[in-house]
Amino acid sequence: MIQVTLIQIDNYGPWTVTPKPRRESDLQVLQSRLYEDLNLLFGAHKGLVFYTRFDNLIAITNGIDLLTHKRIQESIKNRYPFTVSMVIASAETAYEAQKLATKTLQEYGSAQDENRKEILDVANSLVSDGYVQIAHIDINNITGTFTDIISAYDTYLNVNKVKLLLMEELLKYNALLFFIGGDNYMSPCNGMTEEDFIKIFDKIKNKLDIELKAGIGIGETAEDAANLADIGLEKIRGKLVDKNVCFLRDDIIKLKPKKFCGLQ
Amino acid sequence: MIQVTLIQIDNYGPWTVTPKPRRESDLQVLQSRLYEDLNLLFGAHKGLVFYTRFDNLIAITNGIDLLTHKRIQESIKNRYPFTVSMVIASAETAYEAQKLATKTLQEYGSAQDENRKEILDVANSLVSDGYVQIAHIDINNITGTFTDIISAYDTYLNVNKVKLLLMEELLKYNALLFFIGGDNYMSPCNGMTEEDFIKIFDKIKNKLDIELKAGIGIGETAEDAANLADIGLEKIRGKLVDKNVCFLRDDIIKLKPKKFCGLQ
Amino acid sequence: MIQVTLIQIDNYGPWTVTPKPRRESDLQVLQSRLYEDLNLLFGAHKGLVFYTRFDNLIAITNGIDLLTHKRIQESIKNRYPFTVSMVIASAETAYEAQKLATKTLQEYGSAQDENRKEILDVANSLVSDGYVQIAHIDINNITGTFTDIISAYDTYLNVNKVKLLLMEELLKYNALLFFIGGDNYMSPCNGMTEEDFIKIFDKIKNKLDIELKAGIGIGETAEDAANLADIGLEKIRGKLVDKNVCFLRDDIIKLKPKKFCGLQ
Amino acid sequence: MIQVTLIQIDNYGPWTVTPKPRRESDLQVLQSRLYEDLNLLFGAHKGLVFYTRFDNLIAITNGIDLLTHKRIQESIKNRYPFTVSMVIASAETAYEAQKLATKTLQEYGSAQDENRKEILDVANSLVSDGYVQIAHIDINNITGTFTDIISAYDTYLNVNKVKLLLMEELLKYNALLFFIGGDNYMSPCNGMTEEDFIKIFDKIKNKLDIELKAGIGIGETAEDAANLADIGLEKIRGKLVDKNVCFLRDDIIKLKPKKFCGLQ
């Protein structure tokens, strides 16, 4: 089971244009700072937040209790010109969990209902004995094949094409996909296998002629999983494994250090 | 003529995994803060920065001179664990300008060349008498049709589909397109007409069944243009104009207050 | 027992002038952001950080373990152009604890030793069953008697006179004193009594003709203690108690809600 | 003539305790971030802000016009849970200027008048042809004599004793004094001479047995003056001058590079 928290700024759209449209650079700073603060505050408890649409953010929060959520919600209220609502949900996959969380939040009223403020609720239950599986995906040698050769915007366009294809393919497995900068993507992907990723990467290779690789990690928290995914990616980069996907999990690493990633 | 600045973190990729992969929540905070600082610093001079890939950012900088760029570059060096390179370029369209800027930066060496640090250069020349045209695009009633009804991630997926289609269509006009949060996009689009946008929006309506609208502004700086674009969007929302695109420019507003947006 | 963490930027002085003096506004932003980040990160675990000299900060960290310190230390390294060292110590009073922590840090080398980096140590032991006592002190009606009447700088001067006198008087009890903005001071003051504060305030009244009041709280963590101190101060402001000092502790509040602060 | 801007958070005190006292670590982050943002935004135009009481800040703003102030004021409103008022004033000395600014702000109502919001005014006039003189003062070898030897808090106490004495002595010359971290102080001190500082430092040496030195700079803006002050301080540290005060001004540096600081 994975635990997801949906975070939504309360009645944000109307605020941005009241009494007249607010300066765009200020809004970008404001949204960006909210994302940053949420990552610091959830990160302090080994959670991980994705900026998503900036006014609607999705966090992986296994191991983080309701009281901690409440403290974070208060901290935002204490320092921002708006408040946020949060709903926590758990499910076998991140997609199902965020769907449950959204449904519960919607039942409290519209995102633009000015009376709906600072909702904090749990859609079903918190996860006590679950796990987080995260894939850290990147583009093979983007610096050599894109960044140093074609224009910055063309590289960016390619990164977005890959992103949308990954989103569509991963959704078939109820996995989510977020862009995390550079040529990097992260996917909360509980239940998926190495083979699933290899198939998806082949498809994208055929369609866009862009090669991907992924470290996949499993851990008790988002941070643990992401750390292992990073290590997996480093193993592929260092050619310590012979394929483009490397799957690591805490217990395997602890018990059989030489046996993971398909190596014997 | 529009002036664009390409901003690139020097040798960032290797740094993120040295000596071992750094915690993802920290990297997200770091990148997000850089974006925020750049928007505050360029914004202080009426520029506007788009986060693009976070390690490669594109800014619209009409009216901002080389010395100001240098001061911003120093301010980043003084407060971050890395440095940034910047190249300024100008052209008839933002796409051409960023292409020129990228080319000049590439000539100095790879983005991952550890000897290439703090480049500051002008690809061709700064703009002295140009203008910025910006479209602020959003999705009609996203709250009612998506946010309050389907799951947060499904809404996000739709926002990304629209984004990629907009990127591809606008590129035909050498215009750029960036997501700025919520259901909002901004496009530096010098030279485009209302009709161009109407055609693109029709195409997207047919393909995705999602309706878009846009305020378009022209001004001496990115901020001026974005402000007018915002006002144009408000006019559409307030049904003060009878179509989904409203084009405003400073002089028209000043001279003929009742005649803009196609209204007589 | 109170637990104190001394946080010191490694070799900061030389960095600020290498290769030439860095812009002062940048340094102020940098130091201020470090303080802010440390308060967010320790605050996430109910600690409280005081900016002290900005390059040497003192935190009250009861309940925060070594691993959490390590994570915070890493988070700073991951996002700043410098690293920090931290030493934790515990004692009956905050003064003794910071003294022990300083001594241990000094044994590792000079604050400006370029080889001394990212020390993380415990001077004696962490506190498992201690408490934090914090006084929140402010000046009676500073808005009416200073802010709205004399110049901003003259008010500031008075606030500093009070600060230094408080520092000197509280030191006799091995309590620390920090300015926290406005007309507010916070004092980690384990072991002190209401009478101690009343005596000090009388002395300051005689010397400076400025009246002070204080809420004092006792809790398991700095946050708990500070919250109770705030509530105590509100009780004095609301004239719910008949003197200028109001001492609250968790268990008293829980058991005998009407009996605290000397009221029967 | 020096130009000073007084910045005051509107009705801040009551907000911090409504509906109940807000978490102290959040308030520290909030205040610190305001200071940081103001330094970035004024710094972008070569101004310099001192945190003073955090809810009342003093900025040196020669060369910064009213419109830029208005943009900064808006940027704060767009991103904070409160607004700020600002009054600009000019005078021969910083003390007189801030006094005029305070008086004008007070005429608009109390700092805690909930109807007084976002005042922006000029007490007398902006400076067009003035100058800023800033002294950067530090303690001789504080690392060797304090930081590495006595406890962190005892060092801090000494830094505060020096601060208060400096404030009192400098006030006799209508100069202001602010602590800027470490063992550093900055004094906007238009009109003072090297001898004035030497006398003050002698007095403090006699009283506290602590030796001070100062670089003094004169420039068109706060940043120019502070930069020169920094260079002056470096000259003293490098023993390029034979006393503890080194006074630099732009034109002298440009015209007679070997003759400044009393050297022939």
Q: Confidence class of residue C257 from pLDDT cuts 50, 70 and 90?
A: very low
Q: What is the pLDDT of residue B209?
A: 96
How many DSSP H helices and E strands does chain C contain? 9, 10
- Enter the tokens of residue A87: 């709903």
Shortest CA gap B203–chain C (Å) = 44
> Phi and psi for B160 in degrees, rounded to 5?
-75, -35
Q: What is the pLDDT of residue C254?
A: 56
- From the number of C-beta atoms within 10 Å of its C-beta (0-12, 13-18, 19+), residue B88 rates as buried
Contact D110 C143 (CB under 8 A): yes
B88-104 pLDDT, tens per residue?
A: 999 999 999 999 999 99
Q: Confidence class of residue C251 from pLDDT cuts 50, 70 and 90?
A: low
CB < 8 Å to A40, chain C: 37, 40-41, 44, 75
Contact C231 D21 (CB under 8 A): yes
CB < 8 Å to B75, chain C: 23, 26
What's the Cα-to-Cα distance from C233 to each of C208, C261, D21, rounded to whole Å?
21, 11, 9
Shortest CA gap B213–chain A (Å) = 15
Contact D71 B45 (CB under 8 A): no
CB < 8 Å to C27, chain B: 78
Q: Give the Cα separation of B22 and A234 in Å (integer).
A: 12
Query: Which of D63, D128, D123 has its CA nearest to residue D99?
Result: D123
A121-143 pLDDT, tens per residue?
A: 999 999 999 999 999 999 999 98
In residues, how long is chain C?
A: 264
Q: Does the pLDDT value for residue A51 go beyond 50?
A: yes
Q: DSSP secondary-structure letter at A22? A: P
Query: Which of D41, B112, B34, D79 has its CA nearest to residue A183?
Result: B112
Shortest CA gap D52–chain C (Å) = 7
What's the Cα-to-Cα distance from A135 to each of A38, A129, A222, B152, rounded to whole Å?
21, 20, 11, 21
Q: Around Cβ C259, how many Cβ atoms within 10 Å?
A: 11
Shortest CA gap C99–chain B (Å) = 30
- Neighbouring chains of D at 3+ CB pairs under 8 Å are A, B, C
Distance of CA B34 to the CA centre of its chain: 16
Q: Does the pLDDT value for residue C91 go beyond 60?
A: yes
Q: Which residues pair with C204 in a beta bridge?
A: none
Q: Confidence class of residue D263 from pLDDT cuts 50, 70 and 90?
A: very low
For chain C positions 65-104, those within 8 Å of chain A (CB to CB) are 71, 75
Q: CA Rg, chain D, in Å?
A: 19
Q: Confidence class of residue B258 from pLDDT cuts 50, 70 and 90?
A: very low
Shortest CA gap D150–chain C (Å) = 8
A239 touches chain D (CB under 8 A): no
Q: Confidence class of residue A263 from pLDDT cuts 50, 70 and 90?
A: very low
Instruction: Provide the residue type at D186 as one letter.
Output: M
Q: Does the pLDDT value for residue D252 go beyond 60?
A: no
Q: What is the pLDDT of residue A250?
A: 74
CA angle D183, D189, D194 (to 5 degrees): 80
Shortest CA gap C128–chain D (Å) = 22
Q: Which residues pair with A185 in a beta bridge?
A: A137, A179
- Enter the tokens of residue A209: 């002629």
| Mean of pLDDT over chain C | 94
Q: What is the pLDDT of residue A112?
A: 94
Q: Give the Cα separation of B246 and B260 in Å (integer).
A: 8
Nearest CA in chain C to B18: C78
Q: Which of B12-16, B168-172, B250-254, D121-125 has the lowest mean pLDDT?
A: B250-254
A189 touches chain B (CB under 8 A): no
Q: Which residues contact C34 (CB under 8 A, 6 or more apart)?
A: C9, C54, C57, C76, C80, C84
- From the number of C-beta atoms within 10 Å of its C-beta (0-12, 13-18, 19+), residue A125 rates as exposed
In residues, how long is chain A?
A: 264
Q: Does the pLDDT value for residue D250 go beyond 90?
A: no
Query: Which of C93, C84, C80 has its CA nearest to residue C127?
Result: C93
D213-233 pLDDT, tens per residue?
A: 999 999 999 999 999 999 999
Shortest CA gap D30–chain A (Å) = 6
- Enter the tokens of residue A100: 């449950």
Q: Give the Cα separation of C2 and C56 in Å (integer).
A: 19
Percent of chain D whose pLDDT exceeds 70? 95
D27 touches chain A (CB under 8 A): yes
Query: Which of C17, C45, C49 has its CA nearest to residue C33?
Result: C49
Query: Which of B18, B15, B43, B45 has its CA nearest to residue B30?
Result: B15
A35 touches chain D (CB under 8 A): no
Q: What is the pLDDT of residue A152?
A: 97
Q: What is the pLDDT of residue B66?
A: 98
Q: Which residues contact B144 (CB under 8 A, 6 or more apart)?
A: A110
Contact A53 B25 (CB under 8 A): no
CB D55 within 8 A of CB C142: no
What's the Cα-to-Cα distance from D174 to each of A75, B260, D129, D156, D167, rounded to whole Å?
41, 56, 20, 26, 10
Maximum C-alpha span of chain C: 65
Contact B23 C74 (CB under 8 A): yes
Q: CA Rg, chain B, in Å?
A: 19
D52-98 pLDDT, tens per residue?
A: 999 999 999 999 999 999 999 999 999 999 999 999 999 999 999 99
Q: Give the Cα separation of C74 and C204 in Å (integer).
A: 43
Q: Which of C32, C38, C98 to mutate to test the interface with D (most CBs of D within 10 A)?
A: C32
The helix/strand/coil state of C5 is: strand
Q: Confidence class of residue A252 from pLDDT cuts 50, 70 and 90?
A: low
SS3 content of chain C, % helix, strand, coil (to 5): 45, 20, 35
Q: What is the pLDDT of residue B263?
A: 44
- Is the C-alpha dihedral spanning B139, B145, B146, B147 positive or negative? positive
CB C1 within 8 A of CB C89: no
Q: Confidence class of residue D180 from pLDDT cuts 50, 70 and 90?
A: very high
Q: Give the Cα separation of B230 and B232 in Å (integer).
A: 5
Instruction: Provide the residue type at B59 as one letter.
Output: A
Contact C101 D159 (CB under 8 A): no
Q: Give the Cα separation of A211 and A252 in Å (integer).
A: 28
**Mean pLDDT along residues A67-85:** 98
Q: Give the Cα separation of C30 and A67 in Å (integer).
A: 31
Q: Does the pLDDT value for residue B105 go beyond 50?
A: yes
Kindly provide the ipTM of the predicted complex, given to two decimals. Answer: 0.95
CA angle B160, B163, B165 (to 5 degrees): 110
Pairing of strands B178-181, B184-188: antiparallel
**Mean pLDDT along residues A231-258:** 82
C172-201 pLDDT, tens per residue?
A: 999 999 999 999 999 999 999 999 999 999
Q: What is the pLDDT of residue A99?
A: 98
CB < 8 Å to C78, chain B: 22-23, 26-27, 30, 81
Q: Does the pLDDT value for residue C212 go beyond 60?
A: yes
| Mean of pLDDT over chain A | 94
Contact C74 B29 (CB under 8 A): no
- Enter the tokens of residue B55: 């390690």
Residue reference for tokens 């840090």? C105
Q: Which residues pair with B212 in a beta bridge?
A: B139
Query: Which of D40, D28, D123 has its CA nearest to residue D76?
Result: D40
Q: Give the Cα separation of D27 and D25 in Å (integer).
A: 5
- From the number of C-beta atoms within 10 Å of its C-beta (0-12, 13-18, 19+), residue D24 rates as buried
Nearest to B54 among A26, A106, A182 (CB): A182
D167 touches chain C (CB under 8 A): yes
Contact A24 B48 (CB under 8 A): yes
Query: Which of A160, C103, A193, B159 has its CA nearest to residue D147?
Result: C103
Q: Give the Cα separation of B155 and B169 in Å (integer).
A: 21
Question: Count of alpha carbons within 13 Å of C145, Cβ hemisphere only?
Answer: 11
Q: Does the pLDDT value for residue C121 go beyond 60?
A: yes
CB A73 within 8 A of CB A86: yes
Nearest to B157 among A8, A151, A167 (CB): A167
Q: What is the pLDDT of residue C249?
A: 87
Residue reference for tokens 């996002």? C79
Nearest CA in chain B to D67: B44
Q: Does the pLDDT value for residue A80 go beyond 90?
A: yes
Shortest CA gap D109–chain A (Å) = 24
Q: What is the pLDDT of residue B95?
A: 98
- Enter the tokens of residue D110: 């109390």
Residue reference for tokens 């500051």? B120
Nearest to A75 among D23, D33, D75 (CB): D23
Q: Confidence class of residue C243 from pLDDT cuts 50, 70 and 90?
A: very high
How many DSSP H helices and E strands does chain D contain? 9, 10
Q: Around Cβ C76, how many Cβ atoms within 10 Å?
A: 21
Cis peptide preceding D19, ω within 30 of 0: yes
Nearest CA in chain A to C67: A44
Distance of CA D150 to the CA centre of its chain: 28
